[in-house]
């Protein structure tokens, strides 16, 4: 399964480079390259348990950091009008990351995994936080599609969709381990790699398609800050009515 994922990821990386999209999404491209190199290094030391253990969790930390940076560049790409409209909007993503990471690491320390060293608990909590963030961002992008009518089939949305599906498998594994221990060991073991392969297939489908000019950039170009502010106020009024409060 790891070799299948590696081959598919290399294919996606080649497509991104061939379409010169690595200039637009440099951190996502770096994440893909890391996802090709790291499994090969891990396999080369798989016979030495201690070395493999240290290498695995060290590289997981790099995955977490690059995953966050890739998500941030996509978030900035899609929500650029909000960055231009409200100065404080640039604080939204780092604030969400800080909050989720803090809560996840705190829970990992207060409810540690058995026979796990403290540094491993922190790395595990951080990786879990990144998965939560990927899932939340996927939901946020889906809401954007419904509210603003942005087309879903675009590079930024495909990137987030792949991350979101991959995160779902990891979160399922975390949940099963936390609630049932080893009762569903097989499902917990295979959910993350299967979900990652599905996520990579989404990326492959995204970058195999010819670029569509009428996607995110078109939405950004046709909406002025004034129109965006008016639409945002309209959505706020709708939400207030939905929750039974006066507009």
Sketch the domain layout of the chain as residue ranges.
Answer: 2-242
Three-point CA angle 106, 122, 66, nearest 5°: 115
Q: Do the Cβ atoms of 208 and 15 come closer than 8 Å?
A: yes
Average pLDDT over residues 9-28: 91
Q: How far apart are CA 24 and CA 73, in angstroms?
A: 9
Q: Which residue, chain included where needed, has tokens 């990351």?
A: 97
Provide the pLDDT confidence category of residue 152 given band limits of 50, 70 and 90.
low
pLDDT at 54: 84
Does residue 232 or residue 36 have the better pLDDT? Answer: 36
Is it the case that residue 142 has pLDDT exceeding 80? no
Most confident residue range from 22-36, 115-129, 140-154, 210-224: 22-36
Task: Give residue-wise pLDDT tens across range 174-216.
Answer: 666 665 656 667 777 788 888 889 989 999 998 887 655 555 4
pLDDT at 247: 45
CA 49 to chain centre: 29
CB atoms within 10 A of CB 209: 13
pLDDT at 204: 92
Is it the case that residue 218 has pLDDT exceeding 60? no
Q: Do the Cβ atoms of 74 and 150 come closer than 8 Å?
A: no
Task: Give residue-wise pLDDT tens across range 89-138.
Answer: 788 888 877 887 777 667 666 665 555 566 666 666 666 777 777 777 77
3-state secondary structure at position 28? helix
Does residue 5 or residue 234 have the better pLDDT? Answer: 5
pLDDT at 27: 93
């Amino acid at each position: 399964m790891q070799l299948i994922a590696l081959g598919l990821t290399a294919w996606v990386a080649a497509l991104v480079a061939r379409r010169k999209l690595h200039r637009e999404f440099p951190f996502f491209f770096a994440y893909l390259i890391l996802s090709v190199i790291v499994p090969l290094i891990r396999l080369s030391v798989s016979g030495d348990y201690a070395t493999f253990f240290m290498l695995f969790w060290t590289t997981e930390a790099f995955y977490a950091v690059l995953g966050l940076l890739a998500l941030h560049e996509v978030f900035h790409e899609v929500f650029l009008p909000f960055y231009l409209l409200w100065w404080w909007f640039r604080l939204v993503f780092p604030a969400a990351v800080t909050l989720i990471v803090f809560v996840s690491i705190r829970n990992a320390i207060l409810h540690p995994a058995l026979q796990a060293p403290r540094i491993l608990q922190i790395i595990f909590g951080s990786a879990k936080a990144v998965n939560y963030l990927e899932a939340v961002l996927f939901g946020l992008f889906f809401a954007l599609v419904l509210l603003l009518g942005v087309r879903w089939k675009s590079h930024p949305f495909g990137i987030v969709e792949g991350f979101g599906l991959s995160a779902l498998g990891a979160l399922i594994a975390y949940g099963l381990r936390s609630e049932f221990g080893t009762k569903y060991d097989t499902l917990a073991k295979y959910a993350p790699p299967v979900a990652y392969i599905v996520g990579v297939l989404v990326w492959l489908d995204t970058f195999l398609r010819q670029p569509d000019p009428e996607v995110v950039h078109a939405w950004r170009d046709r909406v002025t800050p004034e129109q965006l502010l008016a639409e945002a106020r309209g959505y706020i009024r709708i939400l207030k009515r939905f929750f039974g409060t006066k507009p």
